[in-house]
Protein backbone atom coordinates (compact mmCIF):
# COMPACT_ATOMS: atom_id res chain seq x y z
CA UNK A 1 0.00 0.00 0.00
CA UNK A 2 1.34 3.38 -1.00
CA UNK A 3 0.77 6.30 1.30
CA UNK A 4 1.38 9.90 0.37
CA UNK A 5 1.94 12.77 2.70
CA UNK A 6 0.57 16.16 1.79
CA UNK A 7 3.29 18.77 1.45
CA UNK A 8 0.97 21.55 2.59
CA UNK A 9 -1.05 20.18 5.48
CA UNK A 10 1.00 17.10 6.35
CA UNK A 11 -1.92 14.68 6.29
CA UNK A 12 -1.32 11.14 5.20
CA UNK A 13 -3.39 10.07 2.26
CA UNK A 14 -3.56 6.69 0.62
CA UNK A 15 -3.30 6.54 -3.14
CA UNK A 16 -6.87 5.32 -3.37
CA UNK A 17 -8.08 8.55 -1.81
CA UNK A 18 -5.86 10.49 -4.18
CA UNK A 19 -7.41 8.70 -7.12
CA UNK A 20 -10.84 9.63 -5.85
CA UNK A 21 -9.85 13.26 -5.51
CA UNK A 22 -8.10 13.36 -8.89
CA UNK A 23 -4.68 13.87 -7.38
CA UNK A 24 -5.67 16.52 -4.90
CA UNK A 25 -5.38 16.49 -1.16
CA UNK A 26 -8.76 15.77 0.41
CA UNK A 27 -8.08 18.34 3.11
CA UNK A 28 -6.48 21.34 1.43
CA UNK A 29 -6.64 20.58 -2.34
CA UNK A 30 -2.87 20.70 -2.61
CA UNK A 31 -1.26 18.74 -5.38
CA UNK A 32 2.16 18.36 -3.88
CA UNK A 33 2.88 15.15 -2.05
CA UNK A 34 5.68 13.21 -0.56
CA UNK A 35 5.71 9.57 -1.30
CA UNK A 36 6.06 7.68 1.92
CA UNK A 37 6.04 4.08 2.86
CA UNK A 38 4.07 2.77 5.73
CA UNK A 39 6.63 1.00 7.82
CA UNK A 40 5.43 -2.43 8.63
CA UNK A 41 7.63 -4.93 10.30
CA UNK A 42 6.95 -8.34 8.95
CA UNK A 43 7.39 -11.16 11.36
CA UNK A 44 7.52 -14.53 9.77
CA UNK A 45 8.62 -16.62 12.70
CA UNK A 46 5.91 -17.59 15.14
- Report the interface residues with Zn ion, using CB under 5 A: 6, 8-9, 25, 27-28, 30
Smallest gap from Cβ 6 to Zn ion, in A, equals 3
Q: 18 or 25, CB closer to Zn ion? A: 25
Shortest Å distance, C-beta 13 to Zn ion: 8
Choice between 10 and 41, CB closer to Zn ion: 10
DSSP string, 5-45: EETTT--EEEHHHHHHTTTS-TTT----EEEEE--------
* Cα four-point dihedral sign 22, 24, 29, 30: negative
Amino acid sequence: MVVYKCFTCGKKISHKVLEKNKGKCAYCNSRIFYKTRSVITKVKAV
